[in-house]
């Protein structure tokens, strides 16, 4: 009786998980549908843009809107500016956050907890509240209308410092004590022990920062005045002014702006998920 019940229970397990799979499938469709809809508008050649219900895939697909966008605006220059800004922002954020996280997690000094709570308190404030002070600082440094002026205020984020502090706290103190008994100083402990053991967290923070800095619009539009310095997130809006009636042109520009970060996430999602699992724990 018991041996017959085991196969029946094993057969019922997929049925019990079916509602979970259906829910995940519905959520996946809801998340992916805006991009699929935008892509369908970009490759369509007809005028039925606002049909309801909107078709998932147009019957008259083509690529002429992508080539038209490339010819209409300096997309290559905008792409290079986005690559420079997002690359420098990501590299700087990883350096600053890892150094601050290591100090808060493994070094003992007076006011350590107070400094950490003060950093966390900045998460309660919207980023736009710092625009005036950041812009005044950037202007006095002579960095307004420069790409470096876009990068510098974004390097020390509370989320990155919190994530790296949590990563270093998971490293056993016994390993660090053994390294110090062998003569390792704080820099050697940080660079040779803590950083290699926290690579999944660094990958997670890098992906978050890359996606955010690639898509950010408000701060670059405040700092930059020269169109040749615009990133993709700002430069693509030229399509809205130049082609105000061509929704397909705007959609094609949006797809071209999304594809790079989407590609990076696809190839790095393994490290991203490992870092997120550790952060949740």
What beta strand segments (E) does 62-153 contain? none
* Tens of pLDDT, residues 63-121: 777 888 887 788 889 999 999 999 999 999 999 999 999 999 888 888 888 988 888 88
Q: Mean pLDDT throughout 160-165?
A: 90
User: pLDDT band at 279, cuts 50/70/90?
Assistant: very low
Q: Mean pLDDT throughout 27-37?
A: 82
Please report the pLDDT score of residue 158 as a whole number. 87
Say whether pTM exceeds 0.85. no
User: pLDDT band at 7, cuts 50/70/90?
Assistant: low
Please report the pLDDT score of residue 269 as a whole number. 67
User: pLDDT band at 280, cuts 50/70/90?
Assistant: very low
pLDDT surpasses 50 at 16: yes
C-alpha count within 13 angstroms, C-beta hemisphere, residue 104 = 23
Q: Which of 213, 207, 269, 256 is nearest to 85 (CA)?
A: 213
- What token pair was written down for 23? 């829910």
User: pLDDT band at 257, cuts 50/70/90?
Assistant: confident
User: pLDDT band at 277, cuts 50/70/90?
Assistant: low
Enumerate the domain spans of the chain: 86-232+267-280
Cα end-to-end span (Å), the chain: 41
User: pLDDT band at 271, cuts 50/70/90?
Assistant: low
CATH architecture of 86-232+267-280: Orthogonal Bundle (1.10)
Cα–Cα distance list, 275 to 49, 191, 196, 199, 252 (Å): 40, 19, 13, 8, 33
> Are the C-beta atoms of 161 and 104 separated by less than 8 Å?
yes
The reply to whether omega before 53 is within 30° of 0 (cis) is yes
Please report the pLDDT score of residue 273 as a whole number. 60
Please report the pLDDT score of residue 18 as a whole number. 78
User: pLDDT band at 10, cuts 50/70/90?
Assistant: low
Q: Of 2-6, 17-21, 191-195, 234-238, which one has max mean pLDDT? A: 191-195
> 44 — phi, psi (to 5°)?
-80, 155
Please report the pLDDT score of residue 1 as a whole number. 46
Please report the pLDDT score of residue 81 as a whole number. 92
């Amino acid at each position: 009786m018991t041996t017959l019940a085991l196969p029946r229970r094993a057969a019922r397990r997929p049925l019990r998980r079916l509602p979970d799979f259906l829910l995940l499938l519905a959520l996946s469709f809801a998340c992916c549908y805006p991009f699929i809809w935008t892509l369908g508008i970009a490759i369509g050649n007809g005028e039925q843009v606002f049909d309801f219900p909107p078709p998932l895939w147009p019957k008259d697909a083509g690529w002429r809107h992508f080539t038209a966008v490339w010819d209409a605006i300096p997309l290559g220059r905008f792409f290079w500016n986005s690559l420079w800004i997002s690359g420098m922002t990501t590299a700087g954020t990883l350096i600053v956050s890892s150094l601050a996280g290591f100090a808060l997690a493994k070094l003992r000094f007076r006011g350590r907890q107070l400094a950490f709570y003060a950093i966390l308190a900045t998460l309660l404030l919207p980023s736009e509240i710092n625009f005036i002070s950041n812009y005044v600082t950037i202007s006095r440094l002579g960095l307004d209308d420069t790409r470096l002026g876009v990068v510098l205020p974004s390097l020390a984020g509370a989320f990155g410092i919190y994530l790296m502090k949590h990563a270093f706290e998971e490293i056993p103190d016994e390993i660090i004590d053994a390294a110090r008994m062998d003569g390792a100083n704080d820099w050697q402990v940080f660079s040779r022990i803590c950083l290699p053991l926290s690579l999944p967290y660094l990958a997670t923070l890098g992906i978050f920062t890359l996606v955010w800095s690639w898509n950010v619009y408000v701060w670059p539009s405040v700092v930059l005045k020269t169109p040749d310095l615009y990133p993709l997130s700002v430069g693509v809006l030229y399509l809205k002014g130049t082609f105000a009636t061509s929704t397909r042109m705007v959609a094609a520009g949006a797809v071209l702006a999304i594809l790079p970060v989407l590609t990076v996430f696809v190839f790095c999602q393994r490290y991203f998920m490992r870092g997120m699992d550790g952060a949740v724990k």
